[in-house]
Structure 1
Amino acid sequence: MRIKGFFAFITMLAAIVSSFAYLETNFAELFSRTSLGQMAKFAKGFLSPDFSHAHLSTIGWASLETLAMSAMGTLVAALLGMVLALPAAGRLGSLFKAFARLVLNALRAVPELVWAALMVLAAGLGPNAGTLALALHTAGVLGRLFAEALENTPAAPSEAIRLAGGGRIAAFTYGTLPNVWPQLLAYTLYRWENNIRMATILGFVGAGGLGQMLQISLSLFQLAQAATIILAVLILVLLVDAFSAWIRQRWISL
């Protein structure tokens, strides 16, 4: 075991050294006086955020746009995911199950950035493209999670309602949904938290919001303005995380 561990360590060390050699990393140049001076100049400009009234006002509107993109995208994704989750869970037969799972796999296989680039071409620049991109990818993720939750839900309550004369809709509404609702809510809120971060990144391909402002500021080397935008992103993410945690505790406790 010691010999195997030694050879594993040597192999790992050789792989790391080979990686640095292949990438031609020059640490001497990285820590040279010129490089350190450039780093200090960058940090000085970046660590002096722009808190002017005009810039903060623009950031406020862009933050609302980013928040709306993430919320609308997650809401549409949750509705579409639930529609696809029902057949994906086998509620409508094996043929619909295979088709729904294929659609869900296709939706989540394409990253949000790729969806955003496609939606920018289809819908033009702005928050509409970002909302559609988030909705399509998140629908694939939530639909798969919802389907698994439905498959693991006990069937006895809904079957009891069916035996008592209730229809499929009543059996699902009163027999299945109350048991699976906390899971569905937790999955949706978790994806909303992720979509807040992703909505910022989508702005780099022209999908609007704080990300588009950040991309413009960085491309123009406006470091002070970019630092303020990053702070706004951080505050927005923290607020959404706290709000979603409060919602989860409130609904799950009920």
Structure 2
Amino acid sequence: MKPTMTHNMPKPPRRDWTVLAMLAMVAVLVVASFASLPLKWREFFTLEAVNSTLELLAGFAPPDLSAPFLIKTGWAAVETMAMSALGTLLAVAAGLAFSLSASGRFGRTARALMRGLLNVLRSIPELVWASILLIACGLGPFGGTLALAAHTAGVLGRLFADSLENAAPLPEQSLRTNGASASAAFFYATLPQTLPQMLSYTLYRWENNIRAAAILGVVGAGGLGQMLKYHLSLFQMQQAATVIIAMLLLVALVDGISYALRRALTR
């Protein structure tokens, strides 16, 4: 008789009930949200509501394509683009400075304090920052640019800090062991690992800041948003349609530039 061989079958892994409990809580929150909000779906799809919507949309046609107004809209688009670009650059500089402490390179206490500051910066929306800064800076694009920089610095600082924490520590440790200074080891070992990810985050936030800059004009921060608020308040729908089209074209332009830059970086 041949000896029988017994194979030890691996035990199936224990079912993780934590994920299922979290999914159930999310489902309960979604159902509670629909139940608590006074959503009037029937009134939204009535014939009167549809006619009112069509009448409003008809007022936007045709957009104002006169040369003086197109020139005015073009300058406003340039102002919106400049606000977003400068606000993003300021945020990148601040985010890099903040991320060093937030990644724990100067101790746990400095990490906790800096992450608390970053939480405050990114928790306050751009519109609230603009409302605060416009009081100090006055109406115009300067306050809007600072508002974009303040909010985006909180976002990028957190993302940059997470990138630095997730970087492989061995290259920097090897340089330090061979006698390199802490700053040299950081710039030659850790930063090159995280730089492509940081650039990707920066480009993504620049796309978001284009949209935010257009909205900040509603509170008097200049650019296309201020033009849109002005013409809508006077019920000049054709001029407002031109401004909206300029916003869409500007966002599409920035998306294209960002896509081209990302492809160039990956190559």
Count of aligned residue pairs for this structure pair: 238
Aligned match of 1:94: 108
Counterpart among 140, 147, 158 of residue 126 in structure 1: 140
Per the TM alignment, residue 48 of structure 1 is displaced from its structure 2 partner at its CA by 1.0
In 1, the alpha carbon distance for the partners of 2:110 and 2:155 equals 18
Q: Which has the higher helix share?
A: 1
The one of 182, 186, 197 equivalent to 1:183 is 197
Q: Percent identity among equivalent residues?
A: 52
1:16 Cα offset (Å): 5.8
CA distance in 2, matches of 1:238, 1:121: 32
Structure 2: segments with no counterpart, 5+ residues: 1-26
The aligned counterpart of 1:161 is: 175
SS at match of 1:66: helix
CA shift for structure 1 position 168: 1.6
Give the Cα separation in 2 of the matches to 1:78 and 1:198: 17
Alignment of 1:32-181 (within 5 A): 32=48, 38-181=52-195
How far is the alpha carbon of 1:39 from its aligned partner? Answer: 3.7
Q: Distance in 1 between matches of 2:153 and 2:124?
A: 12
Residue 27, structure 1, aligned to residue 50, structure 2:
no
CA–CA distance in structure 2, aligned partners of residues 119 and 93 of structure 1: 32
Structure 1, unaligned stretches of length 5 or more?
1-7
Pairwise CA RMSD: 2.2
Distance 1:248 1:121, change over 3 A: same
When normalised by structure 1's length, the TM-score is: 0.87
Q: The residue matched to 1:221 in structure 2 has which SS?
A: coil
Q: TM-score, normalised by structure 2?
A: 0.83
Give the Cα–Cα distance (whole angstroms) in 2 for the partners of residues 197 and 180 of structure 1.
Answer: 27
- Structure with larger Rg: 2
Code of the residue aligned with 1:123 in structure 2: it is C
Q: Deviations over 1:187-209 (max 9, x none)?
A: 00000000000101111111111
Give, in angstroms, the shift of residue 146 of structure 1.
0.4
Q: 1-side partners of 2:154 and 2:236: how far apart? A: 37
Rounded to whole Å, the distance in 1 between the matches of 2:179 and 2:35 is 71
